């Protein structure tokens, strides 16, 4: 019987993960299957138990189950613990290992695929939800000059920063509201980790926050020029990107973790990219 993997979520039919992982398996000669698994709400553990009983080896986890995945796992990697959420599970006997590869996928896309080093850069992260949580440590590991987390609900950004600082993370980390971004303050890299783009909304970000030679990165993918990317474009930002590379890179990290082989990502990113227009 070949090894079975899947992505669990609800809804899940839109997921690009089966396309990505079957492509990786084909390219790297791995005998495995990868499907979608729609988990009924409130029945994450029962659904995963059944998948394991049928020989499942690992799962990617998406909305709304990333917190459930953390609670379910027996062994949490630092990435999952600090994010409070897991996006990949691996089953070995009665153990369930949990990782969160979203942040590392983001950083690899920015630094490796887009060629934009984060070292010494002024980075602005918009939002204070799960997507931001996963990104904080991998960004700090790149030694930026500054990492500011801005959120609509100011206390949430402040609490998040306090939580990371309490665990000894770098003093370059700060948080606040959009109103705390001074008119003169400019960021080399602005990352939209809010869910605003999903509803074609724009976080209340001053256009002056973008450095002209900088990078504006929207974590959503396949939506073309989101209102956030349009604002960046109108502000004259040199480099715009959506989250398609992050999606493929986090998938590659999970694939390597499960199979011991790191797949090539560039062709896959090109294959599923939607032009930014």
Residues with a catalytic annotation lie at 66
Does position 103 interact with ligand ATR (CB under 6 A)? The reply is no
263 binds ligand ATR (CB under 6 A): no
Q: Judged by CB, which is closer to ligand ATR: 52, or 81?
A: 81
- Angle between the 17-28 and 244-259 helix axes, to the nearest 10 degrees? 50
Alpha-carbon gap, residue 163 to 157, rounded angstroms: 10
Rule CB under 6 A: say whether 195 interacts with ligand ATR: yes
Half-sphere exposure of 245 (CA within 13 A, CB side): 18
CB of 9 to ligand ATR, least distance (A): 13
Nearer to ligand ATR, 23 or 175 (CB): 175
Task: Please choose, from the candidates 103, 107, 125, the residue with its C-alpha nearest in 3D space to the C-alpha of residue 116.
Answer: 107
Separation CA 207–CA 196 (nearest Å): 16
Q: Site residues for ligand ATR, window 62-81 (CB under 6 A)?
A: none
Near ligand ATR by CB under 6 A: residue from 156, 159, 174, 206: 156
176 makes contact with ligand ATR (CB under 6 A): no
Least Cα distance to 60 among 4, 12, 3, 5 occurs for: 5
Strands 210-218 and 187-192: parallel
| Residue 152 engages ligand ATR in binding (rule: CB under 6 A) | yes
Nearest-CB residue for ligand ATR: 129
Measured from the CB atom, the residue of 148 and 258 that comes closer to ligand ATR is: 148
Is 153 a binding residue for ligand ATR by CB under 6 A? The answer is: yes
DSSP assignment letter at 182 = -
User: Minimum distance between the CB of residue 193 and ligand ATR, rounded to whole angstroms?
Assistant: 6
Widest pairwise Cα distance in the chain: 61
For the bound state, the minimum distance from the C-beta of residue 86 to ligand ATR, rounded and expressed in Å, comes to: 13
Whichever of 130 and 144 has its CB closer to ligand ATR, that residue is 130
Indicate whether 92 belongs to the interface with ligand ATR (CB under 6 A): no
Q: Write out the binding residues for ligand ATR, residues 126-145 only, by CB under 6 A.
A: 127-131
261 burial level (CB within 10 Å; 0-12, 13-18, 19+): middle
Q: Smallest distance from the beta carbon of 74 to ligand ATR, in angstroms?
A: 24
Closest C-alpha to 258, from 59, 83, 38: 59
Q: Which stretch binds ligand ATR (CB under 6 A): 8-16, 74-82, 192-200, 208-216?
A: 192-200
Alpha helices by DSSP H, listed for the chain, are 17-28, 44-53, 66-72, 78-83, 102-108, 130-140, 154-166, 227-234, 244-259, 266-272
Please pick, from the candidates 30, 194, 226, 265, the single residue that binds ligand ATR as defined by CB under 6 A. Answer: 194
By the 8 A CB rule, do 232 and 208 touch? no
30/99 with CB nearer ligand ATR: 99
User: Under the criterion CB under 6 A, does residue 265 sit at the interface with ligand ATR?
Assistant: no
Binding footprint of ligand ATR on the chain (CB under 6 A)? 127-131, 151-153, 156, 194-196, 201, 203
């Amino acid at each position: 019987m070949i090894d079975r993997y899947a992505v669990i979520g609800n809804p899940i039919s839109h997921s690009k993960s089966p396309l990505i992982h079957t492509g990786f398996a084909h390219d790297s000669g791995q005998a495995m299957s990868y499907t979608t698994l729609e988990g009924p709400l409130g029945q994450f553990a029962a659904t995963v138990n059944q998948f394991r009983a049928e020989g499942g080896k690992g799962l990617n986890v998406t909305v709304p189950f990333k917190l459930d995945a953390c609670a379910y796992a027996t062994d949490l990697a630092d990435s999952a613990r600090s994010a409070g959420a897991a996006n990949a599970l691996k089953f070995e006997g009665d153990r369930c290992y949990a990782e969160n590869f979203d942040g590392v996928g983001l950083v690899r896309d920015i630094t490796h695929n887009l060629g934009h080093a984060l070292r010494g850069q002024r980075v602005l992260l918009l939002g204070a939800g799960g997507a931001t949580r996963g990104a904080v440590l991998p960004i700090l590991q790149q030694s930026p000059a500054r990492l500011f987390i801005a959120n609509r609900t100011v206390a949430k950004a402040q609490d998040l920063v306090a939580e990371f600082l309490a665990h000894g993370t770098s003093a370059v980390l700060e948080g606040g509201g959009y109103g705390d971004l001074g008119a003169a303050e400019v960021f080399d890299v602005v990352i939209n980790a809010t869910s605003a783009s999903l509803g074609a909304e724009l976080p209340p970000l001053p256009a002056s926050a973008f450095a002209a030679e900088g990078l504006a990165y929207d974590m959503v993918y396949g939506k073309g020029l989101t209102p956030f990317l349009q604002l960046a474009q109108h502000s004259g930002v040199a480099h715009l990107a959506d989250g398609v590379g992050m999606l493929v890179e986090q998938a590659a990290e999970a694939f390597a973790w499960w199979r011991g082989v790191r797949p090539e990502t560039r062709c896959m990113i090109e294959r599923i990219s939607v032009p930014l227009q």
